[in-house]
Structures are given as C-alpha cells and as structure tokens.
Structure 1
C-alpha cells in the first residue's frame, strides 16, 4: 500500500495516545483525518480544535462520506477496540484497507532512519527526551505521552528521521524497522497477551534482531549490545551524581569522550537512566555531545511522568502514570530522595484485573513502602472482571498501618485532609482526570499559591 494514494484516514480509537500522534501526523501532512472514540477526553478535544472530526457513538451514520471510498481511504484501529465494534467490522467485512496502528507506524519507519525506544518501563520518557535531543536534526517523533516542551505527543520534523516509542503490547514493536534502538527493561508485564515472562523475553529478542545498526541495552539485560548504567562499568556511564536545588547534575563517560556537569531536572535515578539511554542513541546517531548536554538541560518532562502539580513548603502533589510494581518502586525511591524527611501518601488506581492478579504481592510490597495508602477500584480498560480480583483483595495484602479503599466521589475531600506533606497519585487509568481536582482542593484547604 502506498500512503501517497490515500486521501482519507479514519481512526477507530483516535483518543489513544499512540493513535492520536498518528492522526496529528497525517493531518499535518494534508490528509483528511476523522475518528471515533468511546469517550471525549483532553486528547480528543485537542484534535477537534485542529479541525479533525470525531464522534463518540459506534454508528456508521456519523462518519464523513469520504471514509466510504475504498480506493482512497484507510482505516486504522487499535487492539484496545472490542471485537464486536460495528464500524470496524463493517470495514473488515467489506474489504476496506484496514490496518493496526502498529502496522502504520511500521510503514512510516520503513522509509526513514529510525531510532526506536523499547522496554517495559521508561520508554515514553526516554523517547520524549530523545525526540527533544534530535530536534537540531529535525526528526519526527511519535511519542506515548505528551511532551511538555511541545504540549504534544508528536514532534513534527522532516521525513528522513523518525523517533518512535516501540511498544511491546500485542507485539506491536515487531512491525518497526529500527536502525538504532535501545531496550530499557524487560520485566514481566502484559501476561494477558504473552501468557508467561519467557514469551515476552522472546519477543524482545525478536525485536533486537530487527535492529539494523546498533542496539543499546540497560546493563544486566540478557541481550547483546552497547550497555549503559549508573556508577558501574558500561559503555555509557552516569557518574558523580549530585542534586542542586532539585536539579540533578552528573557526568557521563561515553566511548567518544566525557561530558561533565549535565543538568537534568526530572526527579529519580530511573530518569537519569532514561536520559542516559537517550544520550547514547543520539550520540551513536551523531549528535554532538555539546548539543546533547544543552538539550538535556532544556527538557521539561512528560505529562503524568513524575509531574509536580503542586510544590510548596506545605504541600507537594505529584502525578505519575506508574501502573507496574517496578514503576511504583521507582517513584517511591525518587520521592524519598527529594523529600527524605516528609510523610508520603500514595493514591493508586490499579490498571487491569489481569495485571492486578499477576502481580498482587509485588503491588502490595511496593505500595507498603509509603506511609499512607489510598486505593481506588481497579480500572478495567479492555477487560472484564475476574472473580476475587478486587482492590479490597490488594488492600488486605498491604502492610502500611494507614490504608483505605476510597471511591472517586470521596477521594478529593479525603486527600485534602491528609496530614502528609507529599501526595503521589499513580495509575494508568482515569485517575489522571482527578489530579487537578485534588490540586484545587489542596490549594483551597491550605490557602496555597497554585
């Protein structure tokens, strides 16, 4: 299929973070773009403000007439769309060009020099840092989060170079054609798709085999490639790490030479690892070490990745997407590093019944490290309930002395009255929609400056 012959692209699930980046890309390239999503969201609103037509009912009558031209239309869908979706089934049954999101991204990368970031954790932040570093080279970056510097999940550059987040869910990253790639982590996850951890590891091995030029890996992963690490022997080493007024300053040893006094403002040593991975990929591509240092200092972060929504002497509110025990541990470590003497409350919304079931003991262990734990009900996303798998079951396993299960309706009021200085809100579901409400209530309760 030649995308030049396509006039209209219709996205089923257009509000998804990966889907919306592609919608922005094709709209910017002059295609007629429209879409469906289950519910309105800030993402769908931003797409509508561009001029993209979106509806929220599964109804063929709501589609623009241009979509029904078989010759010039392409239908793109996400695996999160249910199999009984009537619009999707209409296009499949009538032999339209229908592709998964990953297949479209794969076709784009095939025609570019592609830098890809894979891993069960850290890939959104790492690919966003890399996309920012690569801007002097005018790369186009497709991201899995909203980069603060651009207020977008698409950094639109030229068509010769692409930066992509390589998603292991549904083995999507196997559609890509990476020239340079990194793998940040390969922890067990998505076992609803893979069944067991070994199958996930096999998929990452298959991805690594697709890398045509250079593979970079976090030290300790069972793959062959250039390595990166903090304060231990590797090809790229972050060392001499210190904190000055909430900003990390560190040095990096590379195969080409050393960079001293890099400034980087994202909290947590896991984010130093993310910056180091992005640095390595950009260095291998050929960006100068001086440019890399300058770009790292100006990187502002990614929405819902350890974002300070409120930071005063009285109260701190942090928003993060963490939805796996390893990610929760990373957030907790970062919070303790930045606020070593303060009480910390975590609000966590488990994401998926299957993930909660697979990692319940690990979740309990991670969450028990916080001084106070508040759980919301499990966010089901694409799943149906599993008998016995509930937030109450998880709560029983948590050992913190102060713990409770809250409904969304009472969460804001309860959190406003906590005596913890630091409140951390975690999860990949719709908890992010409650963060601003909590922030506003804290400002009101404590007469804070927002």
Structure 2
C-alpha cells in the first residue's frame, strides 16, 4: 500500500460525492494536487473547482491524468466505468474511499459515528463541539456544516471525527477510540440481503473499537447485548433507564431547551436551535462525547447553542408566522417518521405537506410498506418518480407502489414539471411544506420556493 508521504498527485472517480469530496479536501489541504471526475456539476463540485481542484464531467480516458500516484473511487461508481477500468488495467494504485480513509486515520485518535440514520447530524454536532470549544479535530463529514459551509476541516490536534458509513461495509476499515451507533434499521438490503446480516455488521463495527475505547449507542438497539467493547454508554431521548437522557425538554418556536443527565451528573440549560426531537437525541450522543473528553460544561452549552445544523437536515428554507418550508435528506422510512413527527409536533396548528422523492428501486421495493406507513403521518403527500442513483430500473417498481400502500387519501405522484405547477397554484399560508429525499430533489427547492412566492 502506498504511503501518504509519497503522494504528489491524486485522482478521484466520483469526486462530487459527499464522502469523496471530504477526502479530496483533505489531500488538497496537504498541498497535494487533486483532480477528479463526476457525472454532473453540482454546487459541491463547483466549490471544489473554486478551491483549485480540476474536475471534469465526461467519462473519457483522454481527460484523465496519467501521472497520479493514487486513484480513489466510490463503490457507487459502476465497475465498468471507463476511467476506473483504465487505471485498474494499467497498474495504478486504485483504492476505495474507505481504504484511503483507513490510511488517513491509522495513527490518530478516532471518533467514528455510525448508524443507518442520524449519523450525519451527529457527526457534524460532535465535530462542531470539538471545534467551537477549542478542543480541535479533523472532521470528515457526510453533510455540509451550516456553521462552516464545508464537510471537512483540519486541525493540528491528532483527532479525527469521521462519519462511519455502513454501505458496502466501509466502516469496518476504521479503528475507533470512541464510536457512536445511532441506529441499525433495515437498509442497503441490496448489499446485505437481510436485516440480520446488517445487524451483524454493526456488531463487527463495535469490535473494531480499540482496547480501552468507548461505545456510545442508542438505548434499545436490537443487538446491544452483542456489542463488544470495554466501556459502553447508552443514550435515549425518552427513557431515563438509559445512561444518558434529557430532562425538562421544552419547545420554543422551533428550538428546544433541555438538561442532560450523564451517569447521574447533569448539564443544565442547553439550547438547540434545530427542529425535530430526533435531533435532541442526536445532540445527546454528541454531548456525551464532549463530556467524556473532559470538555467543560459551559463550553458544551455554548457550542450546542451556536450549532446551526447541517444542510438538508431539517433545514429551514423559510420560517415565519404564515409559512414554513423545510428541506431534508430523509430517504429511509424511519428518517421520514422522525422528520414528519418532528414537524407536526413543532407546528401543530399547520397542515403538513411532504414532497418525497424515493431513492433507489431496491430500497423502494424492500421497504414499500414502511414508506407508506411513515408518509401517512403527513396531511398531504406528493411523490416524485424514483431517483435511480446507481441502479437500473426494476420491473414493476415505481413510486405508485408506495402510493398504493398509503391510507391517506390526499396523495399523488407528480413529475418535476407538474410539481412546480402545483407549487405555483397552492397557497402556502398555514402550511409546513417539506421536501425530502437523497436524490436530486434539492435542486428543486429553490424553484419550488420561487413558485410559492418565497425568495431568500
């Protein structure tokens, strides 16, 4: 395996992925020449280009650099991708993103956050707590921090905060000193086959924690008795039988105030300016990390109060007395359940309308019943066609499959064009309108806002 010190030029296939771009930013910060390919230009790839990285958007071996020491690719890239095949067939050092992250973090103190949902927000909270308090860390995030408008930052302190991705079992390459497991619901069954196999992999992840390390896990996870680590703390937003839990939760115009009890000790008067009680739970996990690292309580309180969230995680596009527009990355039934429950509890006097773009044919097929049940929480549901991402269509699988599972009668499937027509005709007053999904629905948020009469 190549050593980091030997790399002068590096190439990324799929550089616009949120995890790939964080690693690209890391190498760029080390004065290494970074370039890459992605399928389409996005705000993220444009930001990489503006920082000095060369990115092209045509799959063409004539455009790729031939003098690189390392090629990094994401598992989302098809195996037959022309550029990937060229590098593999011509003797280049070609590694998955997870392998490179393993090399980067081998000699550091690692805080790794895993879970089928909740991990991006929790990772960003942990990294913000360490940065805002002055503790310091290198951060590899799976989302864009609103506080810093980036998914990566570096620090002289040899501590890495890493979002640990279960897709393709990537997180088994990491060696945590502190690990968080937020959830382990059925997902990525195209990779794992069964929910039990997915759970087995989370148990294996717990076994990767270094000797003397700490596991912080959500209370009541299905395999928590199988987790193998020297020290474990369990947290919950609703059950005081956990080791860590909140008390005195109060809502104030979309924000929360609460206390946190950690093994009998107490941090009082915390304020989180982020919607959704599930995000209170995420913050409890992050607070536990900071507390265990010895960060002062007042610094923890200040950092939580200053946390502005993650782009596309319960992100307020507009929030006033008449109209609420929220954008969220939710693409799993449990994420949708938390999102919609949170929105309805925060704004009980408003009608909840969700526009959801299903992500992947396989996920839609595997979880169609759960999707229908979660979406029924909303007062009105609009479904977009399935975003295929890395997949080819599966015969018979479509957004109508979810529609037919729903009991709610206020539901429809619309094309993107018809959605904008709907937005131009609907009265947004008295409504919480939510856009949700992991595909390209985020590109529709601004046009929807304009049609609704919302201008930033």
Shared fold per TM-score greater than 0.5:
yes
Name 1:215's counterpart in structure 2. Answer: 215
CA contact (8 A) 1:264 1:299 kept: yes
CA contact (8 A) 2:253 2:346 kept: no
Tell me the secondary structure at the aligned position of residue 157 of structure 1: coil
Name 2:279's counterpart in structure 1. Answer: 271
CA contact (8 A) 2:64 2:83 kept: no
Tell me the secondary structure at the aligned position of residue 317 of structure 2: strand
Instruction: Give the Cα separation in 1 of the matches to 2:314 and 2:289.
Output: 23
Q: Are residues 1:29 and 2:36 paired?
A: no
Q: CA deviation at 1:449?
A: 6.3
Instruction: Give the Cα separation in 2 of the matches to 1:109 and 1:292.
Output: 25
Tell me the C-alpha RMSD between the 2 structures: 1.3
Q: CA deviation at 1:368?
A: 1.4
- Give runs of aligned pairs for residues 22-171 of structure 1, distance below 5 A: 22-67=23-68, 73-135=69-131, 136-158=134-156, 160-171=158-169
Name 2:260's counterpart in structure 1. Answer: 252
Q: Are residues 1:418 and 2:414 paired?
A: no
- Give runs of aligned pairs for residues 171-190 of structure 1, distance below 5 A: 171-190=169-188
Change over 3 Å in CA distance of 1:60–1:449 after alignment to 2: closer
Instruction: Give the Cα separation in 2 of the matches to 1:109 and 1:159.
Output: 13
What are the Cα deviations for residues 141-194 of structure 1, in whole angstroms up to 9, with x where unaligned? Answer: 100000000101112222500000000000000011110011001101000000
Name 1:199's counterpart in structure 2. Answer: 197
Q: CA deviation at 1:61?
A: 1.4
Q: Are residues 1:237 and 2:245 paired?
A: yes
Deviates more, 1:235-244 or 1:111-120: 235-244
Q: Structure 1 unaligned segments of length 5 or more: list them.
A: 68-72
User: Out of 428, 448, 452, which is 1:438 matched to?
Assistant: 448
How does the TM-score come out when normalised to structure 2?
0.94
CA contact (8 A) 1:125 1:274 kept: yes
Tell me the secondary structure at the aligned position of residue 246 of structure 2: strand
Q: Structure 2 unaligned segments of length 5 or more: list them.
A: none
Change over 3 Å in CA distance of 1:112–1:256 after alignment to 2: farther
CA contact (8 A) 1:118 1:181 kept: yes
Q: CA deviation at 1:409?
A: 1.3
- Give runs of aligned pairs for residues 271-350 of structure 1, distance below 5 A: 271-350=279-358
Name 1:398's counterpart in structure 2. Answer: 406
Instruction: Give the Cα separation in 2 of the matches to 1:266 and 1:373.
Output: 23
CA contact (8 A) 2:329 2:437 kept: yes
What are the Cα deviations for residues 334-381 of structure 1, in whole angstroms up to 9, with x where unaligned? Answer: 111111021111100000000000010110111112111111000000
Change over 3 Å in CA distance of 1:416–1:344 after alignment to 2: farther
CA contact (8 A) 2:243 2:263 kept: yes
Instruction: Give the Cα separation in 1 of the matches to 2:209 and 2:407.
Output: 44
Instruction: Give the Cα separation in 2 of the matches to 1:76 and 1:194.
Output: 24
User: Out of 377, 395, 400, which is 2:385 matched to?
Assistant: 377
Q: CA deviation at 1:17?
A: 0.2
Instruction: Give the Cα separation in 1 of the matches to 2:455 and 2:403.
Output: 34
Change over 3 Å in CA distance of 1:162–1:256 after alignment to 2: farther
CA contact (8 A) 1:345 1:370 kept: yes
Q: CA deviation at 1:131?
A: 0.3
